[in-house]
């Protein structure tokens, strides 16, 4: 039977209001971390802080280049010199757009799809996600091969009530044709004032559907749970981006503490905050490494489980797919390498790079790669992914008939004692 650490629950119920409080909570569970490790993990925090300093566009450009040189994971900058980039646009940057274009051009030269400059609007959107609030209809979207799909529909939101589903291909938002547009452009059209409506047209299979949906303020809860037959618990963990994720996960485990086995579903979970993944993995581990991180100085920072932070001890099966990425793969790698869980589904995405969020002047920001994940057994998963113990695919027929063959397989594993 699972034993829930009540101290953790009380802290999480009352302390996760500001990000600083969350960090304090996180460090409480890791008393075996050295001071340097605590500082390192805190340095990776995606703090939802806006930098209101106002500088000229050319100053923003130079400040950002200096930050990149100091902190980027690849010290060679993909074989380039930072002075070369400073000289390239010398006396040419006059406007904010000039600075943004120049910075994104420079970042593109790193051949790193995860490092990107964020305009004022983009940084605000990202901060809202971390703060667990957004104005919209309640969907997560993803871009694949130039097409924009619904990656997840949040339960109890306008999109959920309207019948939108994961996997729907978005064609239009109002009169805005999504074909060939960026993910950010789609997000901007989905968001809007609370109480206003949008028409969204999607393609589901061969059927085109149009839904009129009213926007609301969405309180993001990335954790859903329920009890299945045979006293098996089920938790759907759709993202690690919200600072409230630990609180919601602890609450779910408390409700499922008497189950005899648990299915943790991280399909479609594209990651989020580094410390959320560490915290979540430790809820199921009494010992062993959770992850190693190689920084830009060549140092290997290792994070170990604290036995006092573990709250669930029964058999565990994890559902994963090719959209499970980044922080989700930290959790998966920790539980797989420590032989704590069996994995069902398909190979994961393979994003093994660590990004840090830096607020920049003019209310802008940058997501910058500062390290690389390595699993407890020393495997680099970047561009490789993590293979499941049991490869089970969802067929087109499964999707059309609403059958979740991966969930059924996982449930049977637990019923048969794995």
The per-residue pLDDT for range 332-347, each reduced to its tens digit, is 999 999 999 999 999 9
Among 47, 236, 207, residue whose Cα is nearest residue 127: 47
Tell me which of 27-41, 252-266, 326-340 is least confident.
27-41
Residues known to be catalytic:
326, 337, 351
Q: How far apart are CA 53 and CA 372, in angstroms?
A: 31
What is the reported pLDDT for 220? 72
> For the chain, what are the domain ranges?
57-113, 133-219, 223-415
- Residues counted in the chain: 418
pLDDT band with cut points at 50, 70 and 90 for residue 29: very low
| Mean pLDDT, residues 140-151 taken together | 79
Per-residue pLDDT at 350 exceeds 60 = yes
DSSP 332-354: HHHHHHTT--EEEES------EE
What is the reported pLDDT for 147? 84
| CATH code that applies to domain 133-219 | 2.30.42.10
Per-residue pLDDT at 226 exceeds 90 = yes
122's enclosing H/E stretch is helix 120-130
Superfamily of domain 223-415: 2-enoyl-CoA Hydratase; Chain A, domain 1 (3.90.226.10)
Please tell me whether residue 161 adopts helix, strand or coil conformation: helix
pLDDT band with cut points at 50, 70 and 90 for residue 135: confident
Residue 325 near residue 350 (C-beta atoms within 8 A): yes
Residue 324 near residue 269 (C-beta atoms within 8 A): yes
What is the reported pLDDT for 1? 40
| Mean pLDDT, residues 219-245 taken together | 89
Residue 133 near residue 219 (C-beta atoms within 8 A): yes
pLDDT band with cut points at 50, 70 and 90 for residue 15: very low
What is the reported pLDDT for 129? 65
Q: How far apart are CA 156 and CA 161, in angstroms?
A: 7
What's the pTM value of the predicted model, to 2 decimals? 0.75
Tell me which of 65-69, 393-397, 403-407 is least confident.
393-397
Please tell me whether residue 111 adopts helix, strand or coil conformation: coil
| Mean pLDDT, residues 20-46 taken together | 37
Greater model confidence, 108 or 244: 108
The per-residue pLDDT for range 153-185, each reduced to its tens digit, is 888 899 999 999 988 999 999 999 998 887 778
| Mean pLDDT, residues 79-84 taken together | 95
Q: The tokens of 49 are what? A: 């802080």
Tell me which of 34-43, 114-123, 199-208 is least confident.
34-43
Radius of gyration of the chain (CA): 22
What is the reported pLDDT for 235? 98
Residue 364 near residue 60 (C-beta atoms within 8 A): yes
What is the reported pLDDT for 133? 63
Residue percentage of the chain with pLDDT more than 90: 62
Per-residue pLDDT at 387 exceeds 80 = yes
Residue 329 near residue 382 (C-beta atoms within 8 A): no
């Amino acid at each position: 039977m699972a034993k829930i650490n009540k101290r953790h629950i009380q802290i999480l119920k009352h302390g996760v209001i500001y990000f600083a409080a969350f960090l304090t909570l996180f460090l409480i569970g890791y008393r075996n971390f050295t001071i340097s490790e605590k500082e390192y993990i805190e340095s990776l925090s995606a703090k939802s802080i806006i930098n209101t300093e106002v500088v000229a566009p050319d100053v923003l450009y130079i400040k950002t280049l200096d930050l990149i040189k100091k902190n980027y994971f690849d010290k060679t900058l993909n074989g380039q010199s930072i002075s070369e980039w400073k000289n390239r646009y010398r006396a040419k940057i006059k406007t904010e757009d000039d600075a943004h274009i120049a910075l994104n051009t420079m970042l593109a030269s790193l051949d790193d799809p995860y490092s990107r400059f964020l305009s004022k609007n983009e940084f605000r959107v990202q901060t809202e996600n971390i703060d667990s609030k957004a104005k919209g209809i309640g969907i997560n979207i993803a871009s694949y091969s130039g097409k924009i799909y619904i990656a997840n529909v949040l339960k109890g939101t306008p999109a959920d009530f309207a019948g939108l589903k994961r996997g729907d291909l978005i064609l239009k938002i109002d009169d805005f044709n999504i074909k060939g547009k960026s993910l950010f452009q789609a997000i901007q059209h989905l968001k809007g004032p609370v109480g206003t409506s949008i028409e969204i047209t999607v393609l589901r299979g061969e059927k085109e559907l149009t839904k009129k949906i009213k926007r609301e303020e969405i309180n993001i809860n990335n954790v859903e749970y329920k009890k299945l037959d045979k006293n098996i618990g089920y938790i759907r963990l759709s993202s690690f981006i919200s600072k409230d994720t630990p609180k919601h996960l602890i609450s779910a485990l408390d409700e499922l503490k008497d189950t005899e086995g648990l299915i943790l579903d991280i399909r479609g979970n594209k990651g989020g905050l580094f410390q959320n993944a560490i915290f979540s993995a430790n809820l199921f581990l009494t010992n062993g490494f959770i992850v190693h991180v190689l920084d830009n100085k060549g140092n290997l920072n290792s994070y170990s489980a604290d036995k006092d932070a573990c709250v669930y001890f029964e058999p565990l099966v994890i559902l994963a797919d090719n959209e499970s990425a980044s922080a989700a793969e930290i959790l998966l790698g920790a539980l797989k390498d420590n032989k704590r869980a069996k994995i069902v589904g398909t190979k994961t995405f393979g994003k093994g790079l660590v990004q840090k969020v830096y607020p920049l002047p003019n209310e802008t920001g940058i997501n910058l790669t500062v390290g690389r994940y390595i699993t407890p057994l020393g495997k680099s998963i970047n561009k490789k992914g993590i293979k499941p113990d049991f490869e089970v695919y969802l067929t087109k027929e499964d999707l059309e008939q609403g059958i979740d063959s991966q969930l059924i397989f996982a449930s049977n594993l637990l019923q048969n004692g794995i």
